[in-house]
Structure 1
């Protein structure tokens, strides 16, 4: 089954990190990513630009409305994701617990919906 591991972190705290700390964090993510590639769990994953670059889209009464910034103000923002293939939720939770961002932020684990597409 596929799970999306959503990585939430504070953009403000990330912005306060010095270059050496960012480099160290990047190295931790590289090691983690390589480990889940080698284990066969990795399907996709990427970091996201800061929430200040986001645009939120809504359609109301047939009109498309856009707003600069995130959908909601929160202490933690979506900073990246991994799409993994895991045999069960416990395996997915174990993978999520090893993500470097879990030490300072949070990881939301969500099963991917499987659509029955009859032809």
Structure 2
């Protein structure tokens, strides 16, 4: 009985962890909120916003050929999961003066899923 109880407990913990795991497919659906201004992938170009290939590890204001706001250039941030999560919740709060017009994504799980989706793409736009 004790072994069965332990097995049930472990299964419950694993199911909960799985439910919290990042969901790339859900992140791709969330990406639809971004694609009006940004592109990603091998054919991505700058548009209203810069392309987002290789976003994580890149410095703010660094995409060649994109005209950034002075605030974004001066922010001196390196995009990582934590900075991106803060930014995407409320871009104007994280970088006052940014020209990004977006209400933000408040849901932590949606941010994690979107992050997982974006992290798939290297600097060249190819999936890693």
| Structure with greater strand share of residues | 1
- Larger C-alpha radius of gyration, 1 or 2? 2
Fold conserved (TM > 0.5)? no
| Structure with greater helix share of residues | 2
Greater RCO, 1 or 2 (C-alpha within 8 Å, sep 6+): 1
